Amino acid sequence: MSPAGHAFLDSLNPEQRLAVLHGDGPLLVIAGAGSGKTMTLAHRVARLVADGADPRRILLLTFSRRAAAEMARRAARILARLPGPRAAALSWAGTFHGVGARLLRQEAHRVGLSPGFTILDREDAADLMGLVRHEIGLAGRDSRFPLKATCLAIYSRTVNAEAELAEVLDTAFPWCRMWEAELRRLFGSYVDAKQRQQVLDYDDLLLYWAHAMLEPALAAEIGARFDHVLVDEYQDTNRLQATILGGLKPDGRGVTVVGDDAQAIYAFRAATNRNILDFPQQFRPPARVLTLERNYRSTRPILAASNAVIALAAERYAKELWSDRGSAERPRLVTVADEADQARCVVAEILERREAGLALKEQAVLFRTAHHSGALEVELVRRNIPFVKFGGLKFLDTAHVKDVLAVLRWAENPRDRVAGFRVLQILPGIGPAIAGRALDRVAEAFDPEMALAALAPPARTAEAWPALVGLVGRLARRAAGWPGELADIRAWYEPLLQERFADAAPRAADLAQLEQIAGGYASRERFLTELTLDPPDATSDEAGTPLLDEDYLILSTIHSAKGQEWTAVHVLNVVDGCIPSDMATGRASEIEEERRLLYVAMTRARDHLALMLPHRFYVHQQSAAGDRYLHAARSRFIPPALLPLFEETRWPAPRPAADPPGAGGPAADIAARLRAIWG
């Protein structure tokens, strides 16, 4: 037993101290957001090392590489304050996937792998799935067989949930039920192809590791490498990960897991809350369970609102958090007209806070899906505010947005080879050589449309060629006007989108949004200039990613914001259809996961929290209804009974009556818009 005399324990509360000083038996810390679970885990690592544990024999598993690095840094910082030299470097801190890759490479020959295996990322894996699908004849043009990305998602779920294909199809992909036999054949061939090529996909990293743990001798050997295994965010692990943990330490000795069932948000990737809830009973005697009730992160009003949101959940391991951080500021519900105003409001408030001394890095904007931040990103770029985005590509860096912008740039300047090169190669059958020759002709010609029309495209391109020539001509003549030109480009591009990308629907939605954004600019030239759209190879790498000591704003999906905290947080689109997402309004369990997502988002805030409510919400419909505005309603997770916990505001604030809008100018615009919406 450790001496309780370490000075660094003084800052902990009694429950946290119990967890840090707990001995070798299995331990579960289950507690709400911001209660210090991650901090306690870092202190426990430091305490173990301070008491003589070998840091090279500690396995620390977290949800992201970023989180692992952060936790290792925290532990090292605590140890650095102790007298005497301490080797604090943890050599085994990482994600399940990362640690799995390392262990598998070391033990490759014993699990039937070549030590030189390579790893496919999700996109590579989907490509391989597509290739195999083609090879075994399941990719006929008019077949309604699921796309490669869907096939991979189904495959991945069967692997991670350790479930039967039929069951996965029934519960998660019912529209693919009719293809069970074909999918089975496809997955068999996919597995063969991976084995032939000695490649592993992400799921294999867990799968092979879990299988290795079923081999008792090997499992004992791998388990014996570690004296302590600590896992953060245990609520978001899946069956395979629980199998791995159980295989490493069957009797639970040295195992600590921490998590919060109210923050389980990865069921869509086969994570199961059962892992954390069933953990104690997995052992004889059962694991010790500690809970933490004091929240150190958020002010009382923010915590009260978050607690109230999660209290409406259908089922959870009941725990109430308290905080002694008093504040008069309630979280705000900010109504704005639409997404464009939402972007302007968020930027205005963030800049105001920065003026008041709060660095951009201390502020974050969170959203349900990566493409919800499109309008905001454009506004940030326009106003030269640096930001990083987690959980998805930056809007302006996505292939489809770049394609459409390249068309615009090429129209603006037919001699822009980078743009033209990109546009021409969108067409099937056109590669760099043909594109280069076509651009030479355009450069020599007076009229780009005529130059292109005079070219004989390759046979594969013949069908698509006239449409491009026509588009180039219309854009050169400015036939559609601004921003009608973007609608014209979209109409041309969308069929190609279907052919180029498996996930065409969300990309089409992005482009609809780009058209909306473009409407806010006076002309094509202004739009392109304001976005400072240099071709990517003209900007240095450093320009893309802000330097470490530079200040920048954080944009993140809620999923990627797990475990983090900021002084001020804006959450976008807290309306039905976004939270809960309209993709998830089906089963009750999915709705509950969406509720937890809102809880996770709200509990990231320390002092200031704003939930944004665009009054009108632009949706892109695949159906005959086309694009349209929907009147959006406040998320159902904030029913009227909860409103007293919030402050309801509008942006821009309505003008006082004594100050009537003038005959023209922005004030009149705003007034007219307000009348149109609320009048």
What are the residues binding ligand ATP (CB under 6 A)? 11-13, 16, 31, 33-39, 260, 263, 296-297, 563, 565, 603
Measured distance CA(260)–CA(237) in Å, rounded: 12
CB of 97 to ligand ATP, least distance (A): 20
Q: Per-residue contact track with Mg ion, 559 to 578, x per CB under 5 A? A: ----x---------------
**Pick from 291, 235, 322: which is nearest to 596 by CA?**
235
Interface size with Mg ion, residues (CB under 5 A) = 3
Q: Which does 35 bind (CB under 5 to 8 A by kind): ligand ATP, Mg ion, none?
A: ligand ATP
Q: Is the peptide bond before 483 cis (omega within 30 degrees of 0)?
A: yes
CA distances from 410 to 443, 518, 679 (A): 11, 17, 42
Looking at beta carbons, which residue is closest to ligand ATP? 36
- Scanning 249-383, the segments in alpha helix (DSSP H) are 274-278, 300-311, 339-355, 374-382
Give strand pairing partners of 568: 363, 608
Work out whether 252 is an interface residue with Mg ion (CB under 5 A): no
The minimum distance between CB 41 and ligand ATP, in angstroms, equals: 8
Residue 562 C-beta: closest distance to ligand ATP, Å: 7
Question: 């030239």: which residue's tokens?
Answer: 525
Instruction: Decide if 57 contacts 226 (C-beta within 8 A).
Output: yes
68 versus 435: smaller Cβ distance to ligand ATP: 68
Which of Mg ion, ligand ATP, none does 335 bind, CB closer than 5 to 8 A by kind?
none
- Binding test (CB under 5 A) with Mg ion, winner from 16, 35, 38, 241: 38
Which residue lies nearer to ligand ATP by CB, 310 or 555?
A: 310
Residue 213 Cβ vs ligand ATP, minimum distance, rounded to whole Å: 27
Contacts with 370 (C-beta within 8 Å, 6 or more apart), sequence order: 389, 391, 392, 393, 557
Looking at beta carbons only, is 33 or 401 nearer to ligand ATP?
33
Q: Is the Cβ–Cβ distance between 26 and 252 less than 8 Å?
A: yes
Taking CB within 5 to 8 Å according to partner kind, which of Mg ion, ligand ATP, none is near residue 13? ligand ATP
Binding window for Mg ion (CB under 5 A); candidates: 32-40, 172-180, 384-392, 508-516: 32-40
Which of 215, 182, 34 minimizes the C-alpha distance to 107?
A: 215
In whole angstroms, what is the distance from residue 369 CA to residue 391 CA? 9
Of 34 and 614, CB closest to Mg ion: 34
- Tell me the three-class secondary structure of 550-618, residue by residue: CCCEEEEECHHHCCCCEEEEEECCCECEECCECCCCCCHHHHHHHHHHHHHHHCCEEEEEEEEEECEEE
Q: Return the one option of ligand ATP, Mg ion, none that residue 12 interacts with (CB less than 5 to 8 A, by type).
A: ligand ATP
- Taking the complex as a whole, the smallest distance from the CB of residue 292 to ligand ATP amounts, in Å, to 7
Residues 254-283 as x/- pattern, contact with Mg ion by CB under 5 A: ------------------------------
Q: How far is the CB of 592 from ligand ATP (least distance, A)?
A: 18
Q: 6: number of CA atoms within 13 Å, CB side?
A: 25
Give the shortest CB-191-to-ligand ATP separation in angstroms: 36
User: Rounded to the nearest whole angstrom, what is the least distance from the CB of residue 563 to Mg ion in the complex?
Assistant: 4
- Rounded Cα distance between 359 and 654, Å, is 29
Nearer to ligand ATP, 31 or 452 (CB): 31
| Residue 38 Cβ vs Mg ion, minimum distance, rounded to whole Å | 3
- What is the closest distance, in whole angstroms, from the C-beta atom of residue 258 to ligand ATP in the complex? 7
CB of 30 to Mg ion, least distance (A): 12
Q: From CA 196, how far away is CA 205, in angstroms rounded?
A: 17
- Report H helices in 413-457: 417-424, 432-444, 448-453
Tell me whether residue 39 or residue 405 sits nearer to ligand ATP (CB atom).
39
What are the beta bridge partners of residue 230? 60, 256
Q: Are strands 616-619 and 628-631 parallel, antiparallel or unpaired?
A: antiparallel
Q: Does the footprint of Mg ion cover residue 36 (CB under 5 A)?
A: no
| DSSP assigned state of 259 | E
| Number of residues assigned to the chain | 679
**Partner that binds at residue 516, options ligand ATP, Mg ion, none, CB closer than 5 to 8 Å by kind:** none
Residue position matching structure tokens 């294999």: 204
Segment near Mg ion (CB under 5 A), from 35-43, 52-60, 641-649, 651-659?
A: 35-43
- Give 67 or 270: the residue with its C-beta nearer to ligand ATP: 67
- Tell the smallest beta-carbon distance from residue 316 to ligand ATP (Å): 14
Query: Which residues on adjacent β-strands are paired with residue 199?
Result: 118
User: Are the C-beta atoms of residues 298 and 603 closer than 8 Å to each other?
Assistant: yes
For ligand ATP, give the closer residue by CB, 125 or 579.
579
Give the three-class secondary structure for 120. strand
Q: Which partner from the list ligand ATP, Mg ion, none does 559 bind, CB cut-off 5 to 8 Å by kind?
A: none
306 touches Mg ion by CB under 5 A: no
Q: Which is nearer to Mg ion, 103 or 600 (CB)?
A: 600
Among 37-45, 167-175, 523-531, 598-606, the segment contacting Mg ion (CB under 5 A): 37-45
Please give the residue ranges that form the binding site for Mg ion (CB under 5 A). 37-38, 563
